[in-house]
Structure 1
Amino acid sequence: MRPALAVGLVFAGCCSNVIFLELLARKHPGCGNIVTFAQFLFIAVEGFLFEADLGRKPPAIPIRYYAIMVTMFFTVSVVNNYALNLNIAMPLHMIFRSGSLIANMILGIIILKKRYSIFKYTSIALVSVGIFICTFMSAKQVTSQSSLSENDGFQAFVWWLLGIGALTFALLMSARMGIFQETLYKRFGKHSKEALFYNHALPLPGFVFLASDIYDHAVLFNKSELYEVPVIGVTLPIMWFYLLMNVITQYVCIRGVFILTTECASLTVTLVVTLRKFVSLIFSILYFRNPFTLWHWLGTSFVFIGTLMYTEVWNNLGTTKSEPQKDNKQN
């Protein structure tokens, strides 16, 4: 029953979270910092109350290791948010981040000296081709959509290149964080709920450097049209409602993944998260009418077929042998 509940939470929480994130980003593309701050604050408060026991429970993993992990985690979150403000469309943002398998494999080979089967190398090649197709087609859209001067079109393309660079950096940093987290768990044991709390609590002081941007967007949110929340009848600016729902659905998503990692093999977790990303992508395209050509669909198919091949789903159907559970937050 718990695995079924976890799958429901992952799909309901993560897919609805994407919708509210795009509602926020479409109105104010640079609002990523206030969204991230709200998410971090909510999860940190919840963890402080129920995981850290109001600060009375000492961490199982020394704080200095969490500080390193948190630095990487905070950097990845902020860079991914800023990418949305650099001519990066939400569908491309989602597809590009699905290339985490590529980054993990590259850094695994370089840092951990791992070697993989031909089957997995083939799957990574499919993912790479898919991302290249989507990236290339989005580049053409960025330049063609500019009906202004040639200089303006070039400037838009330069901003898009910066966005691609930001996504690439965040992808590699996220993979490095996963490897670092893996080595910590091998040394100190798995404490995923504790890690979830410290990953969100320790970065909070860093938002001081983003306070001006957060305040500016809070003012913009206050000026948005009023919205009466169904059932409870409370009226508040609609952007604050979107933010509240984004925070709640993000928490549901993360909790669902956590339950899944404690109940199922890592193969099942990877498959569920992959399918969730695909469903979220379809929601984004259909609900918001994002431009998506046949070439984009082809590239998307390569990305997700390659991801499924990497998990070796077809070779493991019917297998009851359990795998070591992954503790990475894959949402």
Structure 2
Amino acid sequence: MHYDFILFGFFNLSNSFIYRFIYLFFFFFFSYLLIIFISFLVSISNNLSLNFNISIPVLIIFRSGSLIAQLIMGRYLRNNFYSQRQIVSVLLLTVGIIIFTLADIKEHRKISIVRTSIFLLPSSLIASPGIALLTFGLFASAYLGICQENLYHKYGKHHEELMLFVHLLSLPAFIFFYEDIMNGISRLNYSLPLHMFEFPVPRLWISLVALCISQWICVKNVYKLTSVTSPLNVTIVVTMRKFISLTLSILIFKNAFNMIHLVGALLVFIGSILYTDDISPFLFKIKEKFKKIVPL
């Protein structure tokens, strides 16, 4: 009874499923493939640079230049106009973080001159591949923000879908780094054990799990932020997070806080105030939306 309805419904479902599959396939291929590829290259280039004697402070200094890279890419690829206040605030933030990091390098130079020698001689042959990788990653990351913005404008702001595709579909590419991954796992397995419920668990595995959880929270909110504001605003927030991380490392590990640290921190503070005042209309809109959701 009513087999004709069932038969027609089945064929309609099959046709719609096929059409939907073809549409999603081409949508993914043309829209997501570039973003996934660039995300993978940015991650790999930054990690590989550490194999060329690039220290973590130098990595932070280069990545703090992402603000200037974002200004350049936004101006020449999207014809974005930036006010003088935005440009000045970006320069203050960048210079402030560089000065702050240099002060941290100076404090640690007494402990390990080898780690910072790469900063003192950036033109050496050993450093050049690492510097090239960092420079490539810097501008590729800025271009990635523009690609994400174009995707949101064209297909809607689905940040959770983008986060899923970028991370899930990048996994097969890591097969080329199988040996490095296995070496890393071996180091984790042979780290000092920590007894949990009478079972010895390598300490580094616990640290890795905690790091993954914190990174998941951070990355999830960054993707959400990309769907509500411009790439430059997102880069400002991420850069401020790095500065806060540097400050916390000084406080937690009780490192010396000297006058150079103070100068860098003041520049970052002034730059952030200038930029926040410049985007105050955007912050006002966010505040109004929050009031509608949570009445005060």
Q: TM-score, length-normalised on structure 2? A: 0.70
Superposition deviation, residue 131 in structure 1: 5.0
Does residue 203 of the first structure (1) align with residue 170 of the second (2)? Answer: yes
On the 8 A contact 2:66/2:235 being kept in 1, the answer is no
Does residue 115 of the first structure (1) align with residue 67 of the second (2)? Answer: no
Out of 73, 82, 96, the position equivalent to 1:130 is 96
Superposition deviation, residue 84 in structure 1: 4.0
Does residue 223 of the first structure (1) align with residue 166 of the second (2)? Answer: no
Q: Distance in 2 between matches of 1:289 and 1:119?
A: 35
Equivalences, count? 264
Give per-residue Cα distances to partners, 1:145-184, cap 9 Å, x unaligned: 7779xx9998787345654443332121100011111111
Structure 2 gap ranges (5+): 1-20, 290-296
- 1:312 aligned residue: 277
- 2:15 aligned residue: none
Q: Distance in 2 between matches of 1:156 and 1:96?
A: 12
Out of 209, 215, 224, the position equivalent to 1:250 is 215
Higher relative contact order (CA 8 A, sep 6+): 1
Structure 1 gap ranges (5+): 1-54, 325-331
The alpha-carbon distance between structure 1 residues 290 and 311, as it changes in their structure 2 partners (threshold 3 A), is same
Superposition deviation, residue 143 in structure 1: 8.3
Does residue 168 of the first structure (1) align with residue 126 of the second (2)? Answer: no
Cα RMSD for the two superposed structures: 4.2
- 2:43 aligned residue: 77
More helix by share: 2
Q: Distance in 2 between matches of 1:162 and 1:71?
A: 21
**Greater mean alpha carbon deviation, residues 139-148 or residues 274-283:** 139-148
- 2:243 aligned residue: 278
Q: Distance in 2 between matches of 1:300 and 1:160?
A: 28
On the 8 A contact 1:139/1:160 being kept in 2, the answer is no
On the 8 A contact 1:67/1:202 being kept in 2, the answer is no
Superposition deviation, residue 130 in structure 1: 2.9
The alpha-carbon distance between structure 1 residues 289 and 134, as it changes in their structure 2 partners (threshold 3 A), is same
Percent identical among aligned pairs is 37
| Partner secondary structure for residue 46 of structure 2 | helix
Q: TM-score, length-normalised on structure 1? A: 0.63
- 1:179 aligned residue: 146
| Partner secondary structure for residue 62 of structure 1 | helix
Q: Distance in 2 between matches of 1:146 and 1:321?
A: 46
| Partner secondary structure for residue 127 of structure 1 | helix
Give per-residue Cα distances to partners, 1:233-268, cap 9 Å, x unaligned: 542111111111111221122334456677x77799
- 1:37 aligned residue: none
Structure with bigger gyration radius: 2
